[in-house]
Structure 1
Amino acid sequence: MDHLRAMRVFLRVAELGSLTAASEDLGYAKGAASAILKELERHLGVQLVERTTRSLRLTEDGRAYAERARKILDDVTMLEDDIGSAERSPRGLLRVQIPPGLARAILAPALPSFIETYPEVEVHILSRNSLPDFVGDRLDAAVFAGEVPDRDLTARSVGRLPVLTVASPAYLAARGAPKVPADLANHATVAILSSATGAPVPWRFREGEEAVVQMPGGPLAFESAEAGVAAASRGGGLLQVASYLVYNEIRSGRLVPVLNSFRPQGVELRILHPRHRLKPRKLRVFEDFLIELNETTRRKWRISEADWDPAIGAPTFSPSE
């Protein structure tokens, strides 16, 4: 019996909860996963999975075996990945979930240079705002903005994303610009809904050394930040988002930053990875690439206080292209 193959099949059955789905996912003939699992159980002399007509459930022995088998397979993967790593490029498929706006504006234009550096790595990007499903989507990692949603995940900081509060010139001409964060109570706002809670994401500011939190009052709220940008550009109200999402709108004059003296530190961007898995080299080099990319982007799109023209409330951009 091929013990490593049997472990991989068993873990995929446990993750997907289906023998048929595991066979399809691993590229085996229908029924192959069932045959391999039965052989493994005979070899061990214990039942790993309780089968019913509708579902599969790990036994106590199955849960113990899954924990140890996962560690063994991770160790094998790391060993194979690291042996000769100085001479051999990282390789293999890498599946990463990332918010759509971040993927479009920052990651996608830079990925060709990553592939040029690491030609044996294949990268699949899933552009989603939802919480990552590492098992169902077979993810290696997920890029997430904000608080880590699950304690079973490890998180490596990529850096902070600059955040701006903006509105359209037409809205400001009609309603005026807020002077302090508390003025938001008298303004229409365009909120972004949290993928973790479904509630509007709080707006954050800094007054001196103090952090200030304001809840956007609506009337508009979107799960998609890009949709929020579109609504704000047409006069829907004030909006607070990561600066990369409104960079082009500000340059074109469709949006104008407000509350410049109260800008927050920015939202923390993290790379999430299941705690029970070891990181293969392909993921480690991808993480390093993202951290460097974020810093390069911050330098390119940084807007300092000197960039603001207080007479018109709009920035005078001079970033590198």
Structure 2
Amino acid sequence: MDHLVAMRLFVRIVELKSFSRAAEKLELPRGSATQIIKQLEARLGVKLLLRTTRQVRTTVDGELYYARCAAILTEIDEVEAAFSQAARQPQGRIRINMSSSLCRHILIPALPGFCDRYPDIVLDIGVQDKQIDLISEGVDCVLRIGELRDSALVARPLARLEQLTCASAAYLARYGTPVRLDELAQHRTVDYISASSGRSIPLEFTLEGSIEYRSLPASVAVNNGDAYVAACEADFGIIQLPTYHVRTQLEAGTLVEILPDHRPPPLPLHVLYPQNRHLSQRVRIFVDWLGELFAKGV
């Protein structure tokens, strides 16, 4: 038994929660995965994995062994990368995930500069507003807007995104422009449904150093940023979102900011990646580039 192969296989099984997917990732025959793990457990004298028809999970010993293996393999990969040609000329594929609005308005317009600098790196961009499991889906890093809940992920702060409240010019012409928070009672909103909780997110306003929440009636509810803006442009009511998402409409006058003295608080933006997975040089380069990009402001 090749001990290094066994360790890599064990780590991938734990991360992917699947013998067959781990074997596929390591280009091993599927039938070999079970035999290799049995040999590893026999050599160590402990049970590492509990396997049923529906799931694979670690034992207490398996969890401890996984943490040590992940650290050892990271060290090995970093040593090899330091002396490889790839370390001097970054190449390969990076799988990333982010919201559609962030991708369309911020990342894609800036990507030509990254690709010119690193022509041998290929970016595989997944676009969705719903949060994903990085490890099980094989994603290298994600960009997330809002407060974080994933304690198992390494989070690097990138920016604090300024927000505003706005509505279409046609909607305001019909219903009037509120200048005080108490005037919101006469207005409507577009409900934004949280992908994580499935609940409508209330409007937030700053008032004398605190935050006030307002829930207004709505005829339309969406769970996607682009649909949220489209519903506002179709005169369905008031919305709140990061300024970058509607900058073009604001400049054209089709959308109008309201209650500028009571803007919602800024939203934190982070790039996240698993703490127990080796962060390849190409992913480090991309994460550093994101830091440079958002340091310029959005």
C-alpha displacement of 1:188? 0.1
Structure 1 portions without partners, runs of 5+? 299-321
Matched ranges for 1:81-100 at <5 A: 81-82=81-82, 88-100=88-100
1: CA distance between counterparts of 2:277 and 2:202?
Answer: 33
Residues 91-131 of structure 1: CA distance to partner in whole angstroms, max 9, x if unpaired?
43322111111111111222232122123333211111112
SS state of the match for residue 46, structure 2? coil
2: CA distance between counterparts of 1:181 and 1:281?
Answer: 50
SS state of the match for residue 134, structure 2? coil
SS state of the match for residue 135, structure 1? helix
C-alpha displacement of 1:82? 4.2
Q: TM-score, normalised by structure 2?
A: 0.89
Name the structure 2 match of 1:134: 134
C-alpha displacement of 1:284? 2.6
Name the structure 1 match of 2:198: 198
Q: Please state if 1:215 is matched with 2:214.
A: yes
C-alpha displacement of 1:233? 0.4
Question: Aligned AA for 1:58?
Answer: T
Question: Aligned AA for 1:283?
Answer: V
Name the structure 1 match of 2:256: 256
Q: Is the 8 A contact 2:192 2:228 kept in 1?
A: yes
Q: TM-score, normalised by structure 1?
A: 0.83
Residues 62-111 of structure 1: CA distance to partner in whole angstroms, max 9, x if unpaired?
22211111111122223333457997133433221111111111112222
Count of aligned positions: 297
- Relative contact order, higher structure (CA 8 A, sep 6+): 2
Question: Aligned AA for 1:211?
Answer: S
SS state of the match for residue 296, structure 2? helix
2: CA distance between counterparts of 1:132 and 1:182?
Answer: 38
Structure 2 portions without partners, runs of 5+? none
Name the structure 1 match of 2:240: 240
Name the structure 1 match of 2:296: 296
Q: Is the 8 A contact 1:159 1:270 kept in 2?
A: yes
Task: Give the percent of matched residue pairs that are identical in Structure 1 and Structure 2.
Answer: 37
Name the structure 2 match of 1:121: 121
SS state of the match for residue 158, structure 2? strand
2: CA distance between counterparts of 1:215 and 1:12?
Answer: 46
C-alpha displacement of 1:53? 4.3
2: CA distance between counterparts of 1:263 and 1:85?
Answer: 50
Question: Aligned AA for 2:291?
Answer: I
C-alpha displacement of 1:15? 2.5
